[in-house]
Amino acid sequence: MSNLRLLITMLAVLPMQGYVSVSFAHETERLDYHACRTLVEKGDILPMAELHQRVDRLTEGRMLDTTLLRHGSGYIYEMEVAGRDGVVRIIYVDARTGSLLTE
């Protein structure tokens, strides 16, 4: 299954589950704007703007906040999304591929 198709499928299921639980408590570091910009320029991660557009379109919700995290040797976007139902959900997306991450 393609990454985009997987992302669409997972985002369609999110409202039914209420949230996605992903454990990133260990070995996780928040990165600032400058680190994010450098990684985007090097092509190591997708730009946040591109992910915002995908998530906004697929969830029919509104992006409230996004944080770039370094987890081990990978990068993850933590995204806070307000759904049409008024429920705020936290989702995690692989910053390199755009794939939705689940535990």
Map tokens 């985007």 to a residue.
40
Is residue 44 a contact partner of residue 96, using CB atoms and an 8 Å limit?
A: yes
Alpha-carbon gap, residue 81 to 89, rounded angstroms: 5
pLDDT at 3: 46
pLDDT at 2: 46
Task: Give the mean pLDDT per block of 10 residues along the chain (103 residues).
Answer: 45 44 64 92 90 69 87 89 86 86 66
Number of compact structural domains in the chain: 1
pLDDT at 84: 82
pLDDT at 73: 86
- DSSP-assigned letter for residue 74: E
Alpha-carbon gap, residue 34 to 103, rounded angstroms: 29
State the residue range of the domain holding 30. 3-101
